[in-house]
Structures are given as C-alpha cells and as structure tokens.
Structure 1
Amino acid sequence: MPDIFAAAWGQDHILILAAAAFIAGLVRGFAGFGTAMVYMPVAGQIISPVAAIITLTIMDIFGPLPNVPGALHFANKRDLARLWLGLALALPLGLFLLTRLEPQLFRYLVSAIALVMLVMLAAGLRYHGRLTGAMTLVAGALGGFLGGVSGLAGPPVIMLYMASTLPAAVIRATLLLFLVGVDVLMLAALGLSGQLAVATMALGLLLAVPFLVGNVLGGLLFHPGYERIYRAVAYAIIAVSALSGLPLFDGGMPWS
C-alpha cells in the first residue's frame, strides 16, 4: 500500500495538482462553491479526463461527510428525491461521453462550461417564476450530465436554487446532499465500468489532504460581513483557472 501512495506522489506535476486542490478547498471554504470550477481546468492539463474526475470525486467526498446528519434534518426531501432521480438518469450518459472525449476537447469543454457558469453566477442570472417539480428534475439531470462529462455538477442546481424562496439552511442542506449523491453515484458508475484504477484513487486520497486543509482555512477566513469580497475573489480564481485550462494558452503555464 505505501508503494501505491509513493507512486501517486511521483505523479508528474504533483505539486501543481496539490496546489489546485488546496486553492479549490480554500474557495469552497470561504465561498461555499467552486471546487470543480477551480480544480478541473488545471487537472485536465496534467492527467487524463477520467483521472481528473476520479481524483475530484474522491477528494471532494470527504469534506461534506461530517455535515450529512445535520443536512438530512434540514433538506427538502421531495426536491432532493427529484434531484437524485434526474442525476441517476443523466450521469451515466455524461460518463459515457467522457470516456470518448479527446483530452484537448475535454479541456475546452471544462473551461467553457466553467466560464459560462461563472458569467451567469456573477451576473446574478436567475429564474423569477415559480419553481416546479419538473424543473427540479431537469436541474438534477443537467447537473448529472455535466458532472459526468466535465465534473461540474453543481452550477445548474445552484442556479436553480438562487430563484428559490426556501430558507438558506434548507437550500444549503439540499445542495450538500445532492453533491454527496453525485460523488457516490460517480464512484459507483466508474467502478462498475472498470475505470477506477487503484493508482488514481491513491492520487485522489493524497489530494484530499490539501483540499481539506484549504476547506478548513477557508472556513476560518470566512466572515459574513465580507461575503461580496469572498465571492469576487472566488470568481477571479475560477476565471484564472478556467482560462489557464484552454489549450490556446499551452506553453504559457509552468507545467505545459
């Protein structure tokens, strides 16, 4: 077992991956979102698309686990069931396409999705009508599809709930449990398809350490009175990460 982790530590540009995981955790800790939008554009430049998804899922699954019992109490169970149903229907399709994407196309896709979602979040675009069960189901399906093909499962559901009148605690709990469901289903689907390489899982476990440290530090830095500043910083970091992931800029990064 130590040999597996030693091999993972010997991964090319491991320090760049660790830094990306740490910064993703930091943003998640003080802004409450952005893990995949920070990590995936960088990881896609260094490791394969499937490996990037696996490492993201493994490192991301540990952070929310202590909060699951409380989230189960506050979450909107009906919405969560619809989100999970949409997720289960669409995530396999996203993973199917992922395994057939060329790495360069994957990088364009991840960066493009991250930038589009970033613009929509920063602009405060939201639906102003009444949220229906069908819309929740579709949001879960879109999140599942994007999660499978790019690792970016959260933004469609986050944007749906920006229009919700539910209490903030209910929204946070429902989002947390949806994303835990994404991680669990992702690992199950990858395992059933034979994509879960032991070495890649070991790399994900190693990256979980800086990711969790970043989460804790980001949480300590958070102060409700500075929420706008935190969001602006998060948006800037996501933009830099997404732009760096575009193959157009190959040769301009230290790991290129």
Structure 2
Amino acid sequence: MPDLLAQTLALPGLGWLVIIAFVAGLVRGFAGFGTALVFLPVAAQIIDPVWAVTVLIVMDLAGPAPAIPRALKDGHPKDLLRLVAATALALPFGMAVLFAVDSNLFKLAVSVISLIMLVILMSGKRYQGKVTPPIVWTTGGIAGVLGGAAGIPGPPVILLYMASSHPARVIRANTTAYLFFFDAMMLIGFAFVGRLAGLPLFLGLLVMVPNLMGNLVGGAVFNPRYESLYRYVAYLIIAASSLSGLFAAVF
C-alpha cells in the first residue's frame, strides 16, 4: 500500500487528473451526464487508455451514489431494466475491443466519438418515432458496445431519452441510474479479467474524492428552471476536453 501511494503521488500529471475528475463530477452533478465525455479525452493523454477507463469506472461509481435512491424513485423502472439488461449482454464485446486497441487509436477514437456525440446533442436532431421496448433494448446494446470499447455509454441513452415523452425529471433519473449501473457492470467485468488492481485501482480511489465533491457541488447548484443553461455549459466543457484530446492524438 505505501508503495502504491508513493507511485500514485509521483505520477506525472496527477494534478490534472484531480482537476478533470472534479470538473467531470461537476458536469455530471448539474447536467446529469458527461462524466466520461469530459474525463476520458484528457485522462487518456496522461495515463494508459485502459488505466483511464479503470480510473473512470472506479471514481464514477461513488460520485452519483448519493443521487441513486432518488433516481430509482423518480425514474421509469421498466425502461431502466431493459437498458441495463441489453448493456450487460453487449458489454463483453466492447471490452474485448478496448483491451485489444492501440493506445494512440484509443485517444483519437474517444475524442472523435465525444465530438460526434456532442454535435448530435447540440444539433437538436432526435429520433422521431415511438420509443418502444425494442428500441430501448437496441439502444442499451449500442451503449454496451460503445461503453465497453471506449468508456462512453451515455450518449445513445441520452439521445433516446431526449426523444421520449418522459418529463425531464424522469429522463434525468433514468440516465443517472443507468450510468451508475453501467459503472458497476464494468467494475465486475474488469475484476473478472484481472484488470481491477494495482495503480489504476488506487488512482481511481484517489480521484474519487474530488469527483464526489464535484457531483455534490453540481447537484447543489442545479435548478430545473435553468436546465438548458446547465446543458450548454456542459457542452462547452465537453467540447474543450474533446478538442484537447483530438489535438494531442493528432499532433
């Protein structure tokens, strides 16, 4: 344990990881999404991509935990169950890609995916059909593959719910709960293949504190009357993170 602590504290760029963990938690707290989109493009510039995903899922499990009881109460349980079940089935395929992909390709891919998802979210283009159970199952499967391969499961689910007839309270609740359960499944998967150990695990536990603080601050300042404002602030932060990752990957 002392050796791991010394290695963690000596890690180049640790301060930036702490800062981006707090900012990612802040965005998640007031917008209900965005942790991976903010954290991964920056973290993958500092540490190994698989490590970055490990750190993300460890720290992100605690951040939204205080909001889960309320999210389960306010959400739509049938949709949530379908999403989680479909993701569980698809997740191993995505994780196989993550463990095989080249680190430079990961950095480029995660930044490009983040930017594409951001453009889609900002464009206002939405699925116009009825949100049926098969559509929810399909969305969960896509999120499972994307989340397992790049650590970014949220955008397909967010796009689905923005097209749904659910009120904002339900959408926010189901998105929050889904991302929490996704992190739990990723942790189980990483532990099963022996990836949940050593320095990345310790680093995830370390940055869990600033991430949790960010979540609490973001949740405290959230006001439903200004939901669109919070969303656009989140978009700006995601854009900055993604562009920095893209620049680093290309140059």
Which TM-score tier does this pair reach, normalised by the shorter chain? over 0.9
- Map 1:200-239; keep pairs closer than 5 Å: 200-239=200-239
Distance (whole Å) between structure 1 residues aligned to residue 203 and residue 48 of structure 2: 13
SS in 2 for 1:245: helix
C-alpha spacing 1:29/1:92, structure 2 compared with 1 (3 Å): same
1:171-211: per-residue Cα shift (whole Å, max 9, x none)?
22222221122111101111111111222111001111111
- Contact conserved, 1:29 with 1:215, CA < 8 A, in 2? yes
Tell whether 2:240 aligns with 1:240: yes
1:54-101: per-residue Cα shift (whole Å, max 9, x none)?
100011100222232333333322212211121011111111000111
- Map 1:80-91; keep pairs closer than 5 Å: 80-91=80-91
C-alpha spacing 1:248/1:171, structure 2 compared with 1 (3 Å): closer
Aligned-pair identity (%)? 49
State the Cα RMSD in Å: 1.7
- Contact conserved, 1:9 with 1:203, CA < 8 A, in 2? no
Greater shift after overlay, 138-147 or 68-77?
68-77
SS in 1 for 2:164: coil
Letter in 2 for 1:115: L
What's the TM-score, normalizing by structure 2? 0.93
SS in 2 for 1:12: coil
- Contact conserved, 1:80 with 1:178, CA < 8 A, in 2? yes
Greater shift after overlay, 28-37 or 165-174?
165-174
C-alpha spacing 1:84/1:122, structure 2 compared with 1 (3 Å): same
Shift of 1:4: 2.3
Distance (whole Å) between structure 1 residues aligned to residue 201 and residue 89 of structure 2: 25
Distance (whole Å) between structure 1 residues aligned to residue 184 and residue 88 of structure 2: 11
- Contact conserved, 1:25 with 1:215, CA < 8 A, in 2? yes
Q: Where does residue 176 of structure 1 map in the other structure?
A: 176
Distance (whole Å) between structure 2 residues aligned to residue 36 and residue 203 of structure 1: 16
Q: Where does residue 140 of structure 1 map in the other structure?
A: 140
How many correspondences in the alignment? 251
Distance (whole Å) between structure 2 residues aligned to residue 129 and residue 6 of structure 1: 54
What's the TM-score, normalizing by structure 1? 0.92
Distance (whole Å) between structure 2 residues aligned to residue 168 and residue 226 of structure 1: 12
Letter in 2 for 1:85: A
Distance (whole Å) between structure 1 residues aligned to residue 97 and residue 17 of structure 2: 24
- Contact conserved, 2:32 with 2:175, CA < 8 A, in 1? no
1:105-151: per-residue Cα shift (whole Å, max 9, x none)?
00111001100110111111211111111110011111111111111
Mark the runs of 5 or more structure 1 residues left unpaired by the alignment: 252-256
